[in-house]
Each structure stands twice: as C-alpha cells, then as structure tokens.
Amino acid sequence: MPVGGRGAEPPEFLVKAYLVEDADAFAKVSDVRDALGHLQAFGLGPIGELAVGQVDDADWLEAWKASVTPIRVGAFLVRPTWSDAREDGAITLALDPGMAFGTGLHPTTQQCLEALSQLRLDGVRVLDVGTGSGILAIAAAKRGAREVVAVDTDPLAVSAATENAKGNEVRVEVRAGSAADVDSAFDVVLANLVGSVLEQMAPHLRARLRISGSLVAAGITTEAEPDVVAAFSAQGLGVVDREVRADWVRLILTA
Ligand code: SAH
C-alpha cells in the first residue's frame, strides 16, 4: 500500500549490504533474491531489482575510514587512530572507533568528557568504573590526574583500555573488576553505566570517594533518575550538577 496518502508517491528506500566474497556468497545472494520475491508476493511491492557488484577491500576500508571524522567535545578532540587531526588548545584522544564510537560518541560519553573538561584534575586520583575503551580514564590522565585506575568487568574492555592508554602515551592502571574490587579512596570517581547498575553499586561508589570528592554518574535515563538519586542520597551523596541530553542525565554528586 502506498505510504503517504492518496496521490502521494511511495517513498523509495535503498538497502545496501556487504558480504564477504567466500564460497557461500553466491548462495547468500540467491537467498536474498528469493526472499525479496516472497515479499513482493505478500503485496509489499514494488521491490526493485537486486543489484550485485564487487567492491575492492581497500576501497571499502578507505571509504569507511574517510567517514569517521574527528569530533570536538569540551576540552577534547576525539579522533580515530589513523587520523593526524589536531586542534589548537584541544587535548587529543586517539581511539579506534571500532571500540570507542561509531561516527559520533554516545551522548553519555560526551557528557562525561564535558564534566572532565571542567573538573579540577591536576594532581588528583581518579577511578573510572566501567571504562570500556578507556576513553574517560585517558581523558582524565591527559588533563593532569596524578593517578588513574580503570576497572571493567568485560575482559575485552580491559584489553582495549590497556592498548588505548598505551597508544595515547598515558599511564592508566587497568584492572578487571568493579568498584568493589578497588580499596582506596579517590578525588574523582567516574561511572558511565546504566541506572539500575548505579543504584546497586551506590554503596561501593560512595566507599571509593573522598569526603570532598566528585562522583560523575551517567547513563541514567530521566525515567530512572529519581531511583538513582534516592540510592545515592541514602549513601549521603547529594547532586551538585545535572545535565540532560537526549533523555540522558549526567549527575555530579558529592558527599
Ligand atoms: N566509560 C566508557 C564506557 C561506558 S560503557 C564511556 O564512557 O564511553 C559501560 C562499561 O561498563 C562497559 O564496558 C561494561 O563492560 C562496563 N560494566 C558494566 N557493568 C559493570 C560493573 N558492574 N562493573 C564494572 N564495569 C561494568
């Protein structure tokens, strides 16, 4: 049925897919052609011709690389490892986009990088809980933190963060585990997780924070926010800063 009402042209869509050219490729193309034929039989037409072409590996990779552009976030310029982009006055973070971002960082990561642009970090100790690619830990180290400890429960994140810290020539102590597996107190604790995890982890996050320290908590939806704030408040942590973007809340809390 045409979409868009009487007289309106149905919208046109182009779907592109890439297949590895191996022994199964021919059969896969043929399956797709059959499946498209079935869709037409259901009245989901008109469906155009399936066009098949070969793409050189090198061309494909170059095209993808060219599509990943550096992004400025707060004090930082986040760029892919192969780019040599730099910007006056910006601190460069070089990351492999496969691990850190697609063509743009997640809004919650951006919110944390902005907080890290503003917080006083010179000479302080920072803990990054759920470090992922290590992006926030690396950012903290580059802004002058004296010591940065990063933890993640995912072994892939632990190796990615270790590699990325090395590539950015900063010292970050990356460990497998979570907030409960670290035992000292930090001036700044970063936790870009999800609301339910933050809630459960609130006592451990509190235990890792120095009395006048700052907890940056992100990954909280506006819906989850009241429960997360209540869990932190039960630990004696109060909100001193709040920022909302695309339904994501980033809080800064202190004891
Ligand atoms: N800090 C990065 C990555 C955030 S994604 C950034 O801001 O972009 C969240 C990360 O937290 C994932 O790598 C996930 O493996 C990790 N994680 C999830 N639950 C965790 C937990 N309970 N303790 C430690 N890390 C956790």
pLDDT digits (tens), the chain, 255 positions: 334 444 556 667 778 787 888 889 989 999 998 888 888 777 777 788 899 988 777 777 777 778 788 999 999 999 999 899 999 999 999 998 665 544 568 899 999 999 999 999 999 999 999 999 999 999 999 999 999 999 999 998 999 999 999 999 999 999 999 999 999 999 999 999 999 999 999 999 999 999 999 999 999 999 999 999 999 999 999 999 999 999 999 999 999
Ligand 1 pocket test: pick from 126, 135, 193, 201 the residue with the most ligand atoms within 8 Å of its Cβ.
193
Encoded tokens for 221: 């939806």
How far is CA 131 from each of CA 64, 154, 223, rounded to the nearest angstrom? Answer: 26, 9, 24
What's the one-letter identity of residue 253?
L
128 Cα nearest atom in ligand 1: 1
Pick the residue whose CA is nearest to atom 25 on ligand 1: 130
Ligand 1 pocket test: pick from 71, 126, 127, 153 the residue with the most ligand atoms within 8 Å of its Cβ.
153
Beta bridge partners of 73: 76
- Evaluate whether 164 touches 133 at the Cβ level (below 8 Å): yes
Instruction: State how far Cα 198 lies from the chain centre.
Output: 17
What's the one-letter identity of residue 227?
D
Task: Name which of 140, 96, 97 is nearest 121 in CA terms.
Answer: 140
Q: From CA 179, how far away is CA 30, in angstroms rounded?
A: 51
Instruction: State how far Cα 254 lies from the chain centre.
Output: 25
pTM for the structure as a whole: 0.81
